[in-house]
């Protein structure tokens, strides 16, 4: 990718010392309590040996207070709850949570993702052994309980994002079998989904986290991956780390939409020069 | 060896797909690294040992072609499409200076091969025609085409057991004494489904003949007949059952397995793959005596309907053969009466014919053609270099 000046702001490293806590799990949410418990219950096993050294930050983005109070009862003390002052959306919520505790890695897990045991542990292991990786994401599947034909149960929901010949960035292998050889190759995709990703704090802070120009969300995850790559670090897809993504669950429950077209235009304005056709090497 | 292949790859059902998959699978087993630009391919899962890149239209396929020639640097390009489409691709490559050896695989649907097309496909480094009839027409026009004998997977297109037939027919509500005629053909002009219906109507005039007609087609194709209207007009609506093409293989095989006879009244055929499939499953085939159908059924492997007349295609240069309703019906009745007596006189010869059409032969032909073309290119380059140094 061209190294000429981009319209992102690189931030100097903070003066504070990064906490020896390995991982800072950030889970932003706006209502969507239906799947949330499963998400939170899956975190300790997903982190595995790193759980004792990790913190979990839940970022409430203006949820219904009554439902929130009921939901939050009985959670471990380790799970901190932050509240946004106003409706911030996914990028703003993640930025707030990530800034709360300074762990070495930031694991963002949205409230509609359930990670399998050892999955986040695997991602951290990869990061620990390869300093050149800046951001890493797992293989995500549609839930086994899905009866929606466009979300086939147990099939691939995310195996990295690539660009096709029509200059569209899309979820490659969507709907394919989870055990297909092509989806189980560790590789460097064009981008990863923000539903679940692990990023080095140093890189996160250099690029300033998610770009809040994306409002409530969409395209900020792709933008983040491009920013990380601009720093000279790798964006990696790790198929051995697996989770389930209840796509759109929180949107359906909250009955709200996202400005897909507007955010796509914003993304292309920021990164249009760096877009290349990639799926021909993967398919 | 890197092979770039361009063809129709709609996984829901495509004649070219049925040709490409065994060819490319065979070549992949011989060590070829293959990327296929798949027109109509929608990115769905597959387990083929080669890569398929989706191309929604020719604009995308041409762009991919150009980019892959420069990025991936394949050794050779093989295009498997109808001649007019291949001419457009060759024109695109010429305009964009895409220099790569070109092997064309194509059908000749109707005779003669017009000189304009012949001159243009001479620009290919090798021409492979999928029927013996088409190859001869190319040679008549001065094109040195070779025959790519298309195979049949006789293991998949197996003859059903009696119990399999019974289960299939019972599940479709077919009685043991009911004669089932099958036709698998697209709803478009060349397939001449109206003539098929007219033969069925004549056959139905004998009221004691108990039968059903299964038609697998694209019923609502925008350029096709209003099939239900015509069936109603001819009074055969009750016997005509229409099914949409694009079904899974197992379902399609079940239709062949449950039928008693295959009828195809096309005005011309480049290959007639459904004819080969029917022969493989053991169905007696009745088809128009023309073009690609003739070589499959003549002299004793099926029943050929003589054309009532021959005309020039209103939209092209080639001839169109109009099957005779009278002869078609008489052949259908012959097959019906043989069936009533349990006679299947053409079955053995037909099955032997398809068993001899192994895909290994087609793969060998294509592999040899590719290697010959590359060898010729290498020699030409060598001589050019030698001349340059003189």
pLDDT in tens, B300-310: 999 999 999 99
**Residue B215 backbone dihedrals phi, psi, to 5 degrees:** -120, 120
User: What is d(CA B68, CA B88) in angstroms, rounded to the nearest whole number?
Assistant: 18
Cβ(B35)–Cβ(B77) under 8 Å?
no
What are B213's strand-pairing partners?
Answer: B181, B240
User: What is d(CA B368, CA A149) in angstroms, rounded to the nearest whole number?
Assistant: 44
Q: How far is A270 from chain B (nearest CA, A)?
A: 25
Which residues of A are less than 8 Å from B45 in CB distance?
173, 175-177, 180
Which residues of B are less than 8 Å from A142 in CB distance?
none
How many CB atoms are closer than 10 A to CB A156? Answer: 25
Nearby residues of A206 by Cβ (< 8 Å), 6 or more positions away: A10, A11, A13, A231
pLDDT tier, A253 (very low <50, low <70, confident <90, very high otherwise): very low
Q: Retrieve residue B247's tokens.
A: 């079904």
User: What is d(CA B60, CA B65) in angstroms, rounded to the nearest whole number?
Assistant: 8
Strands (E), B294-347: 303-305, 307-312, 319-323
pLDDT in tens, A117-147: 999 999 999 999 999 999 999 999 999 988 8
Strand-pair category, B261-264 with B179-184: parallel
Which residue in the block uniquely carries the two structure tokens 């890197």? B2
Q: Which of A165, A175, A277 sits opposite B45 (nearest CB)?
A: A175
Cα nearest neighbour of A164 on chain B: B54
Cα nearest neighbour of A180 on chain B: B47
Complex-level ipTM beyond the 0.90 threshold: no
User: What is d(CA B344, CA B326) in angstroms, rounded to the nearest whole number?
Assistant: 22
User: What is d(CA B109, CA B111) in angstroms, rounded to the nearest whole number?
Assistant: 7
Cβ(B185)–Cβ(B217) under 8 Å?
yes
Instruction: Indicate yes or no: CB of B63 within 8 angstroms of CB of A175.
Output: no
Q: Please list the pLDDT of chain B residue by residue as tens digits (390 residues).
A: 999 999 999 877 678 988 999 999 999 999 999 999 999 999 999 999 999 999 999 999 999 999 999 999 999 999 999 999 999 999 999 999 999 999 999 999 999 999 999 999 999 999 999 999 999 999 999 999 999 999 889 999 999 999 999 999 999 999 999 999 999 999 988 999 999 999 999 999 988 899 999 999 988 887 788 999 999 999 999 999 999 988 889 999 999 999 999 999 999 999 999 999 999 999 999 999 999 999 999 999 999 999 999 999 877 778 999 999 999 999 999 999 999 999 899 999 999 999 999 999 999 999 999 999 999 999 988 888 888 887
Whether B95 contacts chain A with CB within 8 A: no
Strand-pair category, A79-83 with B261-264: unpaired
Which residue in the block uniquely carries the two structure tokens 């050896």? B101
> Can you give the pTM of this predicted structure?
0.88
pLDDT tier, A9 (very low <50, low <70, confident <90, very high otherwise): low
pLDDT in tens, B67-103: 999 999 999 999 999 999 999 999 999 999 999 999 9
Q: Retrieve residue A240's tokens.
A: 């051995």
pLDDT in tens, B202-261: 999 988 899 999 999 988 887 788 999 999 999 999 999 999 988 889 999 999 999 999
Reported residue count of chain A is 283
Share of chain B above pLDDT 70, in %: 100
**Helical ranges in chain A per DSSP H:** 33-47, 65-72, 89-98, 119-129, 201-207, 220-230, 249-254, 260-271
Half-sphere exposure of A100 (CA within 13 A, CB side): 25
Q: Which of A164, A180, A283 sits opposite B52 (nearest CB)?
A: A283
Q: What angle do CA B277, B282, B287 make, to 5 degrees?
A: 60
- 3-class SS at B282? coil
Whether B45 contacts chain A with CB within 8 A: yes
Q: How far is B22 from chain A (nearest CA, A)?
A: 19
Compute the average pLDDT of residues A182-204.
96
SS (H, E, C) A46-108: HHHHHHHHEEEEEEECCCCHHHHHHHHCCCCCCEEEEECCCCCHHHHHHHHHHCCCCCCEEEE
Instruction: Indicate yes or no: CB of B53 within 8 angstroms of CB of A165.
Output: yes
Q: Retrieve residue B199's tokens.
A: 């033969």
Say how many Å lie between the first and final Cα of chain A, rounded. Answer: 22
Nearest of B77, B21, B69, B18 to residue B49 by alpha carbon: B21
Compute the average pLDDT of residues A95-121.
92
What are B104's strand-pairing partners?
Answer: B79, B127
User: What is d(CA B95, CA B89) in angstroms, rounded to the nearest whole number?
Assistant: 10
Instruction: Indicate yes or no: CB of A165 within 8 angstroms of CB of B64.
Output: yes
Instruction: Indicate yes or no: CB of B60 within 8 angstroms of CB of A166.
Output: yes
Say whether pLDDT at A255 is over 50: no
């Amino acid at each position: 990718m061209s190294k000429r000046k981009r319209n992102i702001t690189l931030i100097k490293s903070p003066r504070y010392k990064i906490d020896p806590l390995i991982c800072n799990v950030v889970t932003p949410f706006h209502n969507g309590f239906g799947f949330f418990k499963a998400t939170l219950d899956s975190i300790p096993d997903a982190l595995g040996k790193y759980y004792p050294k990790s913190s979990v930050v839940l970022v409430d983005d203006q949820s219904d207070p009554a439902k929130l109070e009921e939901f939050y009862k009985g959670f471990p003390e380790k799970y901190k709850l932050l509240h946004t002052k106003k409706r911030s959306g996914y990028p703003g919520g993640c930025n707030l949570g990530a800034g709360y505790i300074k762990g070495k890695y930031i694991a963002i897990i949205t409230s509609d993702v359930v990670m399998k045991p050892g999955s986040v542990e695997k991602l951290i292991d990869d990061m620990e052994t390869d300093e050149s990786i800046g951001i890493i994401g797992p293989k995500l599947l549609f839930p086994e309980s899905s009866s929606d034909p466009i979300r086939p149960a147990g099939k691939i929901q995310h195996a990295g994002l690539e660009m096709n010949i029509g200059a569209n960035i899309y979820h490659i292998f969507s709907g394919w079998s989870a055990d297909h050889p092509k989806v189980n190759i560790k590789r460097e995709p064009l981008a990863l989904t923000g539903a679940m990703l692990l990023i080095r704090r140093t890189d996160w802070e250099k690029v300033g986290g998610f770009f809040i120009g994306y409002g409530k969300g969409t395209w900020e995850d792709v933008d983040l991956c491009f920013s990380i790559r601009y720093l000279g670090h790798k964006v990696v897809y790790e198929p051995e780390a697996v989770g389930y993504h209840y796509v759109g669950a929180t949107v359906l429950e909250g009955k709200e939409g996202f400005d897909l077209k507007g955010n796509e235009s914003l993304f292309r304005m920021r990164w249009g020069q760096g877009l290349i056709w990639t799926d021909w090497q993967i398919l | 060896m890197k092979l770039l292949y361009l063809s129709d790859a709609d996984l829901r059902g495509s004649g070219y797909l049925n040709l490409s998959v065994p060819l490319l699978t065979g070549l992949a087993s011989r060590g070829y690294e293959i990327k296929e630009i798949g027109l109509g391919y929608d990115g769905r899962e597959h387990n083929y040992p080669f890569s398929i890149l989706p191309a929604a239209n020719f604009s995308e396929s041409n762009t991919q072609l150009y980019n892959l020639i420069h990025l991936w640097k394949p050794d050779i390009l093989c295009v498997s499409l109808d001649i007019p489409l291949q001419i457009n691709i060759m024109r695109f490559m010429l305009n964009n200076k895409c220099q790569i050896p070109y092997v064309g695989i194509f059908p000749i649907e109707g005779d003669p091969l017009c000189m304009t097309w012949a001159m243009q496909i001479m620009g290919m480094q090798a021409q492979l025609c999928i029927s013996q009839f088409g190859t001869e027409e190319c040679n008549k026009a001065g094109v040195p085409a070779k025959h790519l004998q298309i195979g049949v997977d006789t293991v998949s297109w197996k003859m059903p057991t009696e119990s399999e037939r019974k289960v299939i027919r019972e599940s479709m509500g077919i009685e043991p004494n009911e004669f089932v005629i099958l036709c698998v053909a697209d709803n478009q002009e060349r397939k001449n489904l109206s003539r098929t219906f007219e033969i069925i109507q004549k056959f139905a005039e004998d009221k004691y003949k108990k039968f059903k007609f299964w038609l697998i087609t694209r019923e609502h194709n925008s350029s096709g007949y209003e099939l239900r209207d015509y069936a109603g007009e001819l009074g055969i609506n009750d016997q005509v059952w229409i099914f949409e093409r694009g079904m899974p293989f197992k379902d399609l095989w079940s239709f062949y397995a449950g039928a008693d006879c295959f009828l195809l009244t096309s005005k011309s055929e480049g290959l007639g793959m459904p004819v080969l499939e029917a022969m493989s499953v053991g169905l007696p085939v009745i088809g128009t005596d023309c073009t690609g159908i003739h070589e499959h059924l003549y002299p004793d492997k099926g029943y050929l309907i003589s054309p009532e007349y021959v005309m020039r295609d209103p939209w092209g240069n080639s001839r169109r053969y109009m099957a005779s309703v009278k002869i078609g019906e008489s052949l259908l009745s012959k097959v019906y009466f043989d069936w009533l007596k349990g006679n299947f006189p053409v079955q053995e010869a037909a099955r032997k014919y398809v068993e001899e059409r192994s895909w290994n032969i087609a793969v060998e032909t294509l592999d040899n053609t590719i290697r010959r073309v590359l060898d010729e290119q290498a020699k030409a380059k060598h001589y050019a270099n030698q001349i340059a140094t003189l």
